[in-house]
Amino acid sequence: MLIDKSKFLFVATSLFFIGLCGIMLNRKNIILMLMSIELMLLAVNLNLIVFSVFLDDIVGQVFALFILTVAAAESAIGLAILVVFYRIRGTVSIEYINLLKG
């Protein structure tokens, strides 16, 4: 069956923009921010897989696998940084991460 790829791409793009909005609009919670980043990466993955299927090319899936690992490593490091930060400041609210001003 032939499924219109635009639907897949629409889902991926909306996921990406939802993630983006999650980063931009969120003012309180840094965990939410990390989750939004994950969401964006997942959207990108989805995009890659869709194109890989439709173009009948394996490279996209290879990239998707790479991105999975990179995302895992990134969230691990990000969470580690958060833990360290929490240890020092006692909070992880974004409002208080504003010491570096222009």
- Decide whether 49 or 85 has the Cβ nearer to another protein: 85
Please give the Cα distance from 87 to 85 (Å, whole number): 5
Neighbours of 40 (CB within 10 A): 19
Q: Is 94 in the site for another protein (CB under 8 A)?
A: yes
Q: Single out the residue of 26, 52, 61, 75 in contact with another protein (rule: CB under 8 A).
A: 26
Instruction: Identify whether the C-beta of residue 95 lies closer than 8 Å to the C-beta of residue 27.
Output: yes
Tokens of 85: 């930060």
* Residue count of the chain: 102
Residues 30-69 that bind another protein (CB under 8 A): 33
Q: Single out the residue of 9, 11, 20, 53 in contact with another protein (rule: CB under 8 A).
A: 20
- Decide whether 25 or 58 has the Cβ nearer to another protein: 25
Residues 6+ apart with CB under 8 A from 96: 89
Q: With CB under 8 A, what is the number of residues at the site for another protein?
A: 15
Sites of contact with another protein (CB under 8 A): 20, 23-27, 33, 94-95, 97-102
